[in-house]
Amino acid sequence: MKLQRMNRRAIALGALAASGALVLTACGSDDNSSGTTSSSSSSANASAVKCGDAKKGQQLLADGSSAQKNAIAAWVKNFTQSCGVQINYKAGGSGAGVTSFNQGQLAFAGSDSALKPEEVTASKQVCSGGQGIDLPMVGGPIALGYNVPGVSNLVLDAPTIAKIFNGKITNWNDAAIKKLNPSATLPDLKIQAFHRSDESGTTDNFTKYLLGTTAANWPYSGGKAWQAKGGQSAPQSAGVAQQVKATSGAIGYFELSYVTDGMKAVSIDTGASAPVAPSTDTATKAIADAKVVGTGSDLSLKLNYTTKADGAYPMVLVTYEIVCDKGNKADTLAATKAFLTYIASEDGQKVLSENSYAPIPDAIITKVRSTIASIS
């Protein structure tokens, strides 16, 4: 991540806080200055927002994925500036978002994992005559941030990552890490592996990568709750990132936008011609290989974690916005539809790459736009 880009985002976050346009309340601290769009870009994107029938002064409540929090913050700033609709997005985690949505408390939810069959069934009690559907809206790499003195370029592969987070590799000068980093000076230092303490779509996607690439080294079923023994935990992506930044010998998983000063990101040896570093471009290249597996209006995706394509970073997640296909509440439908239309638009997707996220590939986001137009 370039310093210039980080500085722009830091400046813009101050502007966002001062504006008061968005209230974000989450369990634990999840703030990250690197994740907000620049002022000039924000103004340009705000002018492109189409408000539809959204009513000025209306308020929408949403909750869910903390992975997409920085993208939502930038989008909401633009949308509020243009349409006067206040959106309170509580980045309480994917599990909390889905639960609250199925209790009828939210206009929409954000989740880094597609709805499970039982969650779809539960949504039918809220979506009169319809059901909850998954709309892929935010892509991005799951970065492995690390804090290892003297090591500026670290390469790991899937088996080694699994063994680190499963407590089988416990020191940074382990032979397996040395083999992948022959020119690095690896210290005799204990590995401090951090994972999420709350239910998280980021955890779900991280463990799906391990299960999809090295199941023999990851003897767990996966899911939003962390299952491996040992390690240390912290709430939310920002909580894990904060601990990694503050702890010598630490490593943790979170979205690329949380890799800040004091941390580096691991490159992954996928079997391609060269190790692949996490970036918006390398993540989009991997997501482009995904297949739509949802039925009807649902657009949930199946990712290809075993890709060996050059320049494709395989440890990615896609965050879905969850909304009713039919039966949305009449008083929030227009504003919800207008907001989703904006964030799926070309201008809305441009905001993602400005904030260390990956835009959804054209073939998929085109289907998303069509689906949004049909919700009722």
pLDDT, tens digit, for every residue of 70-93? Answer: 899 999 999 999 999 999 999 998
pLDDT at 272 over 80: yes
- The answer on 256 and 169 residing in a single domain is yes
Lookup result for tokens 């609250």:
100
**Closest-CA residue to 239 (of 79, 31, 3):** 31
Examine residue 118 and state whether it is found in any structural domain, yes or no. yes
| Shared-domain flag, residues 54 and 157 | no
State how many domains the chain has: 2
Residues 248 and 369 grouped into a single domain: no
- Last residue in a domain, options 285, 303, 335: 285
Q: Is the pTM of this model over 0.85?
A: no
The owner of tokens 């996607």 is 205
- What is the distance between the alpha carbons of residues 328 and 53, in angstroms, rounded to a whole number? 15
Hey, which residues does 254 pair with through a beta bridge?
Answer: 143
Q: Are residues 187 and 268 in the same domain?
A: yes
Question: Is the residue at 32 inside a domain?
Answer: yes
* Residue 218, C-beta contacts closer than 8 angstroms, at least 6 positions apart: 162, 166, 207, 210, 211, 228
Please give the residue range of the domain that contains residue 38. 3-137+321-374
Domain assignment of residue 245, yes or no: yes
**Neighbouring C-alpha atoms within 13 Å toward the C-beta of 92:** 18
Q: Cα–Cα distance between 234 and 100 in angstroms, integer? A: 22
The confidence band for 355, taking pLDDT boundaries of 50, 70 and 90, is confident
Residues 167 and 227 placed together within one structural domain of the fold: yes
Q: Which residues pair with 155 in a beta bridge?
A: 267
Produce one character per residue of 114-134: b if its CB has 16 or more CB atoms within 10 Å, e if not.
bbeeebbebbeebbeebbbbb
Q: How confident is the model at residue 200 (pLDDT cuts 50, 70, 90)?
A: confident
Please indicate, yes or no, if residue 117 is contained in any of the structural domains: yes
Domain boundary among 285, 310, 332: 285
pLDDT score for 36: 37
Does residue 96 share a domain with residue 67?
yes
Give the residue with greater pLDDT, 25 vs 209.
209
- Would 111 be classed as within a structural domain? yes
Compute how many other C-beta atoms are within 10 angstroms of the C-beta atom of residue 366: 12
- What CATH number does the domain containing 94 carry? 3.40.190.10
206 and 245 co-located in one domain: yes
Is residue 17 very low, low, confident or very high in pLDDT (cuts 50, 70, 90)?
Answer: very low
Cα 6 to the chain's mean position, in Å? 18
Say yes or no: 83 and 218 in one domain.
no
Q: How far are the Cα atoms of 30, 131, 296, 337 from residue 93, in angstroms, in the given order?
A: 10, 21, 26, 22
Establish if 311 belongs to a structural domain.
no
Out of 19-33, 100-114, 251-265, the most confident range is: 100-114
Q: Tell me the percentage of the chain whose pLDDT exceeds 90.
A: 77
Q: Which of 18-27, 30-39, 128-137 has the lowest mean pLDDT?
A: 18-27
State yes or no: pLDDT of 30 exceeds 50.
no
* Cα 43 from Cα 303, distance rounded (Å): 34
> Mean of the pLDDT values across residues 83-106?
95
Q: How do residues 143-163 score in pLDDT, each as one tens digit?
A: 999 999 999 999 999 999 999
What pLDDT sits at residue 45? 60
Per-chain mean pLDDT for the chain: 88
Per-residue pLDDT, 257 = 81
* Domain end position, chosen among 285, 302, 332: 285
Is the CB of residue 354 less than 8 Å from the CB of residue 36?
A: no
Same domain assignment for residues 40 and 115: yes
Q: Are residues 273 and 345 in the same domain?
A: no
SS percent in the chain: helix, strand, coil, step 5: 40, 20, 40
Q: How far apart are CA 139 and CA 313, in angstroms?
A: 12
On whether both 170 and 73 belong to a single domain, the answer is no
Q: What percent of the chain stands above pLDDT 70? A: 88
User: At 250, phi and psi to the nearest 5?
Assistant: -85, 155
Each residue's pLDDT tens digit, 277-333: 999 999 999 999 899 999 999 999 999 999 999 999 999 999 999 999 999 999 999
Give residues with Cβ within 8 angstroms of 43, minimum separation 6.
81
Whether residue 197 is contained in a domain is answered as yes
Say yes or no: 130 and 27 in one domain: yes
- Is residue 315 assigned to a domain? no
